Amino acid sequence: MTDPRAPRVCVVTGSRAEYGLLCWLMEAIAAHPRLELQVAVTGTHLAPAFGRTISTILADGFKVAAEVECLVSSDTGVGMAKSTGLGVIGFADAFAALRPDLVVVLGDRFEILAAALAAYLARIPIAHIAGGDVTEGALDDAMRHMITKMATLHFTTHAEAARRVRQLGEEPSRVFDVGHLGLDGIRRVTPLTRAQLAVSLGYEFRARNLLVTFHPATLEDVPPVEQFEELAAALGELGPDVGIVFTQPNADPGGQSLDEAIRRFVAGTGGRAILVETLGQQRYLSLVREVDAVVGNSSSGVLEAPFLRVPTVDIGDRQTGRPRAASVINCPPRRTEIAAAIRRAVTLDCSQVANPFGDGHSAERIVDVLVEVLPSLTTTRKRFVDLEFTA
């Protein structure tokens, strides 16, 4: 039973991919008698066009304490700015009602920035997960650093990220290198068999199979659809013995047009490709185990796939700056280079690949810190810690 005086920890989740990481931490917080879990849901979780994945959160047994609608029907920069503003307004009301002692956010998306800004202005301490990463090809990079500067506690996914957070002036005693939460899922999820996946997805596995996730690269000059046309041309050259499973792109500028382009490509493949709007954690990780390569520009190809010893073709600059295992092949968004990278990837031996993102015990490390620190965390006031360096 939870101690009635236990600190209230509000975990904010805005997308299916991020929830797939946070669910393990949410489970650990809910199970701890000295912490009280609150869940605030926003972003694509509440959007029918993205599968309204709040249903997954509820099916997993979590009680949702707040729903914050923020998405406007636009995939432009103006739409993103308006959605962020709506998110700040919504979270201001939600936090006023919930009165959390700590708000936990992960990553770098605009709806997470909105939640962090609302908490910061309300003087609620923030714990930020995955700060200090670098992804040079996306707007997320700057938003991630903004959240870091508003946060009081920092849980990074690798040692270099922890160093960058300290470089941003954060107090070293508040920075904890805990590893990547996605590896907790790999360690704990019971995978489906290939036969079970085939039935669940309505997909016929071929001699070779690819899992493709391609999001808008929001800082690149070439529009997402034009980049996808290069990827589609490369995939089209692979022949009928290569099956392809697409996941849906993010709700970022250019995302709607990209989603339409993916659907057109899938419709013209004669059944060898499918698009799955929502895989969920178990099906996604099970599918990664079964494919010959992960292709696209999602962080999961850099973070989770190497832990499963599966090669990745990482296209463009969206993930530039992250540490990379030897199983990750980067290539520019041009059809010849993409096709060559895929051909190389499916021949790689990844059995001895080392992953730089931890060991799959991140959630318990975070909870241990929260239990120790929260009773004395009574202010959001911070000091800037200067580092000694020479030009």
The domains located in the chain, with CATH, are 8-180+358-376 (3.40.50.2000), 193-345 (3.40.50.2000)
CB 53 within 8 A of CB 17: no
Residue 137's pLDDT is 66
Residue 220's pLDDT is 67
The CB density around residue 131, as the number of other CB atoms within 10 Å, is 28
Residue 218's pLDDT is 63
The CB density around residue 383, as the number of other CB atoms within 10 Å, is 8
The CB density around residue 196, as the number of other CB atoms within 10 Å, is 13
* C-alpha to C-alpha distances, 347 to 51, 65, 327, nearest whole angstrom: 35, 47, 11
Mean pLDDT by 10 residues, the chain (391 residues): 83 92 96 97 90 92 96 85 95 98 95 97 97 81 94 96 96 96 90 96 96 82 86 92 92 83 94 90 93 94 92 91 91 95 95 88 97 92 81 49
CB 1 within 8 A of CB 33: yes
b vs e for 345-370, b when ≥16 Cβ sit within 10 Å of the residue's Cβ? bbebebeebebbbbebebbebbbebb
**Straight-line distance from the first to the last Cα atom of the chain, in angstroms, rounded to the nearest whole number:** 55
Residue 385's pLDDT is 92
Residue 152's pLDDT is 97
Would strands 36-42 and 66-68 be described as parallel, antiparallel, or unpaired?
parallel
Residue 104's pLDDT is 98
Residue 389's pLDDT is 59
